[in-house]
């Protein structure tokens, strides 16, 4: 089964805000993306089935890429060994056991015809056997290489992986180069990514290649309002111009951060973000006194955003309508950081899905409901 690689591959983590943002896309938009779900425990549920149920609730049985959340994977062994460990940790431990070419992982993929597998790279001694098993499924094979951040792929391992893939001469190979956090410096140095991708293409000429990362900031300091460039999109646009003849796909983290943030003390200042095609705009409100209600500040931020020059009046997205509800003081509007995050991610997904289209001319032909 050869599932067509979409023009946009967002990485989606099983977190409430990200799943809500995806779920609220219109069906016609869900049909245009191929999300890569970073599998892990869903909320505090005790079984892996609940994770799969949440994905189906948000995305139906459309094709998606199965990956595993890095932080969850790194903590899995210790969590599974804890006394009274939840069944979900033991299930994941069994699922990702490398024995016999990651047999359990391949069997899991086999049971779900709409799932595209990522190759597990924790034990490269099993790489050939795993590829043999995955090839029997006759599906597109995805390899995500972590190029930066915590625990990036080593140079020897990178060469081993590429050489092994090259020896298989795969017709349905999708390579994701994951660079994690990106900044303006990465944009300035975009030529090094171009040269690297050109080198990979020579080794794997039939592969589709994605450049992936995120530049959403970890902190806004005390800024009241501003804009943040979407460097992952800007870098990709540069790469495309320099890599004619190479099959390239845009990928990002849907405006989520690359690394988990540590829990901070106190209530975060209300902030609403508005995703455009190449940047995020934000309005942030500080509590003037401890008795000030966050709902009032979210409403003020929403009203200010709607009156800004970058507001797209006729944009038909759930996130847009949530900001409008918030400005009206509707109790179902944005009243928490989690809802604000879901709104931003929904708008970001919408903008990237329609990146090459004129937003004002779009018609989803679906009615939005509360």
pLDDT number for residue 261:
72
The answer on 168 and 49 residing in a single domain is yes
Q: Is residue 224 situated within a structural domain? A: no
pLDDT number for residue 221:
76
- Please tell me the total count of domains within the chain: 2
Q: Is residue 369 situated within a structural domain? A: no
Using CA atoms, how far apart are residues 43 and 281, in angstroms rounded to an integer? 29
pLDDT number for residue 298:
97
Q: Is residue 340 situated within a structural domain? A: yes
Q: Is residue 113 situated within a structural domain? A: yes
Using CA atoms, how far apart are residues 321 and 368, in angstroms rounded to an integer? 9
The answer on 277 and 246 residing in a single domain is no
Using CA atoms, how far apart are residues 6 and 309, in angstroms rounded to an integer? 32
pLDDT number for residue 368:
46
Residue bearing tokens 């298989």: 168
Helix, strand, coil content of the chain in percent (nearest 5): 45, 15, 40
The answer on 181 and 306 residing in a single domain is no
- Any alpha helices (H) in the chain, and if so which ranges? 16-23, 27-30, 48-59, 70-81, 87-95, 99-111, 127-136, 155-168, 184-188, 190-203, 231-242, 294-306, 318-328, 337-353
Contact 370, 277 (CB under 8 A): no
Joined together, the tokens standing for residue 126 give 């099993």
Q: Is residue 257 situated within a structural domain? A: no
CATH number at residue 127: 3.20.20
The answer on 134 and 63 residing in a single domain is yes
The answer on 294 and 205 residing in a single domain is no
Cβ-based neighbours of 274, under 8 Å, separated by 6 or more = 280, 281, 282, 305, 310, 311, 323, 344, 347
Using CA atoms, how far apart are residues 43 and 143, in angstroms rounded to an integer? 27
The answer on 97 and 15 residing in a single domain is yes
pLDDT number for residue 6:
85
HSE-CB of 287 using CA atoms within 13 angstroms: 12
Residue bearing tokens 């056997």: 129
The answer on 241 and 176 residing in a single domain is yes
Sign (positive/negative) of CA torsion 6, 7, 11, 14?
negative
Q: Is residue 76 situated within a structural domain? A: yes
Using CA atoms, how far apart are residues 227 and 234, in angstroms rounded to an integer? 15
Q: Is residue 343 situated within a structural domain? A: yes
Global pTM exceeds 0.85: yes
Residue 240 CB-density burial (10 A; 0-12 exposed, 13-18 middle, 19+ buried): middle
The answer on 309 and 240 residing in a single domain is no
Categorise residue 329: left if φ over 0, alpha if ψ from -120 to 50, beta otherwise: left
pLDDT number for residue 291:
60
Using CA atoms, how far apart are residues 32 and 364, in angstroms rounded to an integer? 13
Tell me how far CA of residue 359 lies from CA of 107, 229, 347, in angstroms.
42, 19, 12
Using CA atoms, how far apart are residues 155 and 96, in angstroms rounded to an integer? 24
Q: Which domain holds residue 39?
A: 8-217+229-252
The answer on 113 and 237 residing in a single domain is yes
The answer on 243 and 299 residing in a single domain is no
pLDDT number for residue 361:
65
Local confidence pLDDT in tens for the 370 residues of the chain? 556 678 999 999 999 999 999 999 999 999 999 999 999 999 999 999 999 999 999 999 999 999 999 999 999 999 999 988 999 999 999 999 999 999 999 999 999 999 999 999 999 999 999 999 999 999 999 999 999 999 999 999 999 999 999 999 999 999 999 999 999 999 999 999 999 999 999 999 999 999 999 999 998 877 899 999 999 999 999 999 999 999 999 999 999 998 877 655 678 899 999 999 999 999 999 887 666 689 999 999 999 999 999 999 999 999 999 999 999 999 999 999 999 999 999 999 999 999 999 876 666 555 545 4
The answer on 165 and 31 residing in a single domain is yes
Using CA atoms, how far apart are residues 284 and 53, in angstroms rounded to an integer? 35
The answer on 319 and 186 residing in a single domain is no
pLDDT number for residue 3:
60
Using CA atoms, how far apart are residues 137 and 107, in angstroms rounded to an integer? 10
Residue 130 CB-density burial (10 A; 0-12 exposed, 13-18 middle, 19+ buried): buried
Joined together, the tokens standing for residue 225 give 């309002």
Closest CA to 36 of 153, 182, 142, 171: 142
Q: Is residue 263 situated within a structural domain? A: no
Contact 121, 152 (CB under 8 A): no
Categorise residue 151: left if φ over 0, alpha if ψ from -120 to 50, beta otherwise: left
pLDDT number for residue 91:
97
């Amino acid at each position: 089964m050869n599932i067509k690689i979409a023009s946009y591959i967002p990485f989606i983590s099983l977190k409430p805000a990200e799943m809500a943002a995806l779920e609220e896309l219109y069906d016609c938009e869900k049909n245009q993306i191929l999300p890569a779900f970073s599998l892990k425990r869903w909320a505090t549920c005790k079984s892996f089935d609940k994770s799969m149920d949440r994905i189906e609730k948000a995305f139906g049985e459309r094709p998606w890429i199965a990956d595993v959340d890095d932080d969850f994977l790194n903590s899995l062994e210790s969590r599974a060994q804890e006394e009274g460990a939840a069944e979900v940790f033991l299930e994941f431990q069994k699922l990702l056991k490398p024995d016999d070419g990651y047999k359990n992982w391949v069997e899991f993929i086999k049971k779900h015809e709409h799932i595209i597998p990522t190759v597990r790279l924790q034990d490269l001694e099993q790489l050939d056997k795993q590829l043999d098993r995955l090839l029997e499924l006759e599906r597109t094979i995805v390899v995500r290489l972590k190029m930066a951040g915590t625990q990036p792929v080593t140079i020897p391992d990178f060469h081993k992986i590429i050489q092994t893939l090259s020896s298989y001469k795969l017709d349905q190979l999708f390579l994701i180069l994951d660079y994690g956090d990106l900044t303006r410096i990465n944009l300035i140095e975009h030529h090094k990514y171009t040269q690297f991708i050109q080198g990979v293409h020579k080794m794997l000429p039939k592969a589709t290649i994605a450049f992936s990362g995120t530049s959403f900031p970890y902190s806004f300091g005390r800024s009241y309002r501003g804009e943040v460039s979407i460097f992952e999109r800007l870098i990709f646009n540069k790469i495309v111009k320099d890599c004619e003849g190479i099959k390239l796909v845009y990928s990002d983290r849907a405006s989520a951060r690359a690394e988990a943030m540590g829990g901070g003390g106190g209530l975060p200042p209300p902030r609403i973000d508005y995703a455009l095609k190449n940047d995020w705009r934000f309005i942030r409100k500080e509590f003037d006194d401890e008795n000030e209600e966050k709902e009032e500040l979210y409403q003020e931020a929403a009203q200010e955003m709607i009156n800004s020059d970058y507001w797209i009046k006729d944009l038909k997205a759930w996130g847009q309508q949530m900001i409008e509800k918030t400005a009206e003081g509707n109790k179902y509007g944005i009243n928490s950081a989690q809802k604000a995050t879901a709104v931003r991610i929904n708008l970001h997904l919408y903008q990237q899905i329609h990146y090459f289209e004129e937003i004002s001319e779009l018609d989803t032909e679906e009615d939005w409901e509360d």
